[in-house]
Amino acid sequence: MSNLVLGIDVGTSGVRIAAIDRAAEIAALATAAMPPAPRQGDRITQDALVWARGLDDAMMRLSSMIDLTRVAALAVDGTSGTLVGIDDRGAPMAAGTLYNDRADDADIAAVARVAPPKAAVHGVTSPLARAMRLLQTSGVVRVLHQADWIAAQFSGRFDVSDESNALKTGYDPVRRRWPDWIAATGVALPKLPAVVRAGSVIGQLSPTASQKFGLPAKTVVVAGMTDGCAAFMATGAAKPGDAVTSLGSTLVLKLASQVPLFAPEYGIYSHRIGDLWLAGGASNTGGATLSQFFSSEQLREISARIDPGTSTGLDYYPLPAPGERFPINDPALAPRLTPRPDDDAAFLQGLFESIARIEALGYRRLSELGGPSLTGVATVGGGAANEVWRRIRAAALGVPVVASLNDEAAVGVARLALRAGLSS
């Protein structure tokens, strides 16, 4: 009986595969680690065969947990902006260039000259600029994204991508095509993959993949998305107004919108997932600032002494160092962390309240740019477990704030596969 789908999350440190059933419940979760990517100065690359070996290892582990003949569909997410150059048979001809690999100065300048200001291709790690370097490698006939190449290990199609992964390489998600200006950079459009909607069917499993992985030949391969979008989908957020806040070392906001939002000055771009847009921004405030003053154990102990129903009146802008991009764009913005009360509980509460105000300002900024009004926030990251902070944030945001259903990108991309593979 075909009643499971797989979500395959490929990063730079490992591969995670989630098998979920028709109710989106997790049936199994397999993980395989990969060696760290080597770094040479600003260059950060990784052999794509390392990804393939990680996939093989994770699939082998998964086969010991579930009956793979029950799998009806699968989809893959990968690190946004990670690329590989391939030959006409799909074999990698050079090491993969990772999302944080620096492009060559001449290529960065070439992109800057022709790319529209709102295109998501600017900067020193521009995927389009790094694609220019890959295409100069002997034998490279096409550039794929990490998720594309891994999905091709199942479908045999080394010529297709999705709208989410293609965004930062220059794809226009509004017009749904590669724009003509890309050719002016020297990247011929046939050297880039065809792009389909995330969640659409790419094809069925190739005979080679069926035999190798032990999956049914009729397994459907579904176009995936980036890891960040997959993590959003894992939370259960699914309609305009739904949002996800990540409380990690920084504060990252993502909002589901019925219209695209683009504001490069704030680092805001929109990924297209079907007819839904995911827009977001990242503030430098967050856990990195808290950890300058309190250990994890102290945060738990001191939080228990806070009354979230009574405001401190403290007005901070907690930053670990000068500089902010969202929701305030000021590279010289100084941290504001005074006055500090003698009572550590009051100080911590003031920090919580201030970060919550920054979060609320961030969502207002997204709304001002044309996004929907906030209806609810799911929370992921280390700060999600702090109930006092949750109550403070709910008061500042004025909407329900809940723990996410899940924050595994593998689960999120499996949800995408679920729609195509088991919806009928």
* Lookup: tokens for 370: 């044309």
Question: Given this model, what pLDDT does residue 407 score?
Answer: 87
4-230+409-421 topology per CATH: Nucleotidyltransferase; domain 5 (3.30.420)
CB 83, CB 131: distance < 8 Å: yes
Lowest mean pLDDT among 250-254, 385-389, 416-420: 416-420
- The pLDDT of 72-99, averaged and rounded, is 96
Q: Can you name the residues that pair with 276 across neighbouring β-strands?
A: 273
Q: Is the pLDDT of residue 1 over 80?
A: no
Angstrom distance (rounded) from CA 418 to CA 421: 5
- The pLDDT of 360-371, averaged and rounded, is 97
CB 399, CB 51: distance < 8 Å: no
**Residue ranges of domains in the chain:** 4-230+409-421, 237-403
Same fold for the pair 4-230+409-421 and 237-403: yes
Backbone angles phi, psi at 193, to 5 degrees: -75, 155
Question: Given this model, what pLDDT does residue 423 score?
Answer: 58
Domain 237-403 has CATH 1.10.530.10: no
For the stretch 112-147, pLDDT in tens is: 999 999 999 999 999 999 999 999 999 999 999 999
* Lookup: tokens for 383: 């700060």
For the stretch 250-285, pLDDT in tens is: 999 999 999 999 999 998 999 999 889 999 999 999
- The pLDDT of 174-203, averaged and rounded, is 97
